[in-house]
Amino acid sequence: MRKVRFQPEDTAQPFRIDEVEAPVPGPGQLLVDTDVVGVSLALVRMLRGGVVPQGGPGGEMVGRVAAVGAGVEGFRVGDRVGGVVFADVYAQSVLAVPAMVTAVPPQVTAAEALALVRGGLVALSALRVGRFEPGESVMVTAAASGAGHLAVQLARALGAGRVVAAVRSADKAGFVRGCGADEVVSYAQASWGQPVDLVLDGVGGELVQRGVDVLAPHGRLVAFSAGGGTVDAGSLLGGLKSVIGFSVGLTSREQPELIAQRWGELWELHAAGHLRPAYHSLTLDQIGEAIGLIDSRSNLGRVLLRMA
Ligand SMILES: NC(=O)c1ccc[n+]([C@@H]2O[C@H](COP(=O)([O-])OP(=O)(O)OC[C@H]3O[C@@H](n4cnc5c(N)ncnc54)[C@H](OP(=O)(O)O)[C@@H]3O)[C@@H](O)[C@H]2O)c1
């Protein structure tokens, strides 16, 4: 099988595609032959930082079960599945654990499923942990990203009173309005307009405090980016505001049933026509271009690689 080897220390050739043996699933594992694999900011951050985990970067994938390890129930060879793996996802065959894999409904294309299994999961989870209620106003930062554009669509579908999309450059305005945003603001704007009840922040850094500042009294900010950031605690108590963290990885370990439930909700919302995942589809050999789309912050929706 073909597998990407990342070597960020080699700045001239930070990745290459090797031909290697497919892994063998151990007890409790599935082997999945991948149709599509996601490329995301997490990978770009690793490459920028010059450090890639020993086991290779993880991420989302969609494909078919090729082998089932001892003790695995609920999956059979040939099942069409998607999910998140925490290591070595950039390969034509990957190892997955059942708790992080879901059956993909037949009517959902591989690309759409790929966009939903991680980006959609993050977006829906952020709304849930942020205690979103219909009628509330929601701001989404990195609103054109793989997770962000689905957060805009979900907020709209779940009955938000007002949806504000925050993006770095105004040329993404048409795209995020098409996803359902009522208003678009750019990070550079001095004012982000009227206060909102909920901010879903996928950027981090200085945008975290700006997000807190735009919250209405009792507002919540859900921090789910790996971009860090600090908050002045004093800015919270005056408005009875909260900041809440969310991570797919930790939730999958502590409450895997929540992940399964949210995937079920996402398939239903998609079947009802409320979710229209956007994506850039490239071949495995175009991985450099795929990484470049995110590194240049120019992607509209998910970036994915076709593995066949
Ligand atoms: N907590 C979790 O479990 C979890 C899981 C998945 C993703 N996430 C987070 O969700 C956010 C979106 O992830 P994604 O995979 O959906 O993103 P993505 O599809 O790869 O999109 C990347 C977009 O993020 C924005 N961005 C913000 N900071 C950036 C930076 N320093 N460099 C490049 N782009 C940056 C850019 O849009 P603008 O230029 O318009 O900002 C860019 O177009 C990320 O912060 C990621 O860490 C969290």
Between CA 162 and CA 136 the distance in angstroms is 7
Query: What pLDDT score was predicted for residue 55?
Result: 84
Indicate if ligand 1 lies below 6 Å from the C-beta of 40.
Answer: yes
Angle between helix 41-49 and helix 287-295 axes, rounded to 10 deg: 90
Looking from the CA of residue 299, the nearest atom of ligand 1 is 43
Dump the DSSP string for 94-141. Answer: EEE-GGGEEEPPTTS-HHHHHHIIIIIHHHHHHHHHTT--TT-EEEEE
Ligand 1, atom 29, lies closest to the CA of 203
Indicate if ligand 1 lies below 6 Å from the C-beta of 275.
Answer: no
Beta bridge mates, 18: 3
Query: What pLDDT score was predicted for residue 244?
Result: 98
Looking from the CA of residue 301, the nearest atom of ligand 1 is 19
Ligand 1, atom 19, lies closest to the CA of 146
Query: What pLDDT score was predicted for residue 107?
Result: 96
Between CA 153 and CA 148 the distance in angstroms is 9
Between CA 173 and CA 178 the distance in angstroms is 8
Between CA 136 and CA 134 the distance in angstroms is 6
Q: Domain extents for the chain?
A: 2-104+278-306, 119-247
Domain 119-247 homologous superfamily, CATH? NAD(P)-binding Rossmann-like Domain (3.40.50.720)
Query: What pLDDT score was predicted for residue 191?
Result: 95
Beta bridge mates, 243: 221
Class of domain 2-104+278-306: alpha beta
Indicate if ligand 1 lies below 6 Å from the C-beta of 125.
Answer: no
Query: What pLDDT score was predicted for residue 9?
Result: 87
Query: What pLDDT score was predicted for residue 292?
Result: 96
Query: How many angstroms separate the alpha carbon of residue 235 from the centre of ligand 1?
Result: 25
Helix count and strand count (H, E) for the chain: 10, 15
- The pLDDT tens digits for 287-306 are 999 999 999 999 999 999 99
Q: Is the pTM of this model over 0.95?
A: yes
Indicate if ligand 1 lies below 6 Å from the C-beta of 247.
Answer: yes
Query: What pLDDT score was predicted for residue 261?
Result: 97
Query: What pLDDT score was predicted for residue 186?
Result: 97
Looking from the CA of residue 167, the nearest atom of ligand 1 is 40
Evaluate the CA torsion angle 286, 289, 290, 291 in order and state its sign: positive
Common-topology check for domains 2-104+278-306 and 119-247: no
The series of mean pLDDT values per 10 residues for the chain, 308 residues long, is 92 92 97 97 91 91 98 97 96 97 98 98 98 98 98 98 97 97 97 97 97 98 95 95 96 94 98 98 97 96 96
